[in-house]
Amino acid sequence: MSAINDPIADFLVRIRNAAHAKKDEVSIPASKLKTRMAEILKNEGFIDDFTLVPDRRQGLLVIHLRYLEDGRPVIRGIRRESRPGRRMYVASSKLPRVRNGLGTAILSTSLGLMTDRQARQQKVGGEYVCSIW
């Protein structure tokens, strides 16, 4: 088994692939950062719920995906913005609007992970982690 160079990209890709495959849930190796991202996705309404399942290593994060009444996934798109090879930082005055406010940007700030709306309210910038719509 090879090492994962970008665990956040792996987290996002697993969620996207599971949603497109119409899976009810997806299991992802857990970390504090991934757990906080799952909290944000739940609060923004992109996923139904998540549970942290302990195992002998780091634990598993089981994410329960959300679908519309017609069976389409709530998550239409998900994209990693700042990568290990190309970090992307934004100032508080230049925070991104994903799909004209219909989507959500997740930022890593000095106050922790937060959405673009929360960062605008608190007037903080940071690393532009990903966008979800």
pLDDT in tens, 67-125: 999 999 999 999 999 999 999 999 999 999 999 989 999 999 999 999 999 999 999 99
Cα–Cα–Cα angle for 40, 103, 16, rounded to 5 degrees: 70
Query: Which residue spans of the chain are classified as CATH 3.30.1370.30?
Result: 7-65
Query: Topology of 7-65 in CATH?
Result: Ribosomal Protein S8; Chain: A, domain 1 (3.30.1370)
Mean pLDDT of the chain: 95
Helix axes 7-20, 32-43, angle to 10 degrees: 40
Residue 4: predicted pLDDT: 79
**Which pTM was predicted?**
0.91
Residues of the chain with CATH 3.30.1490.10: 78-132
Asked whether the predicted pLDDT for residue 130 surpasses 90, the reply is yes
- At the topology level of CATH, where does 78-132 sit? Dna Ligase; domain 1 (3.30.1490)
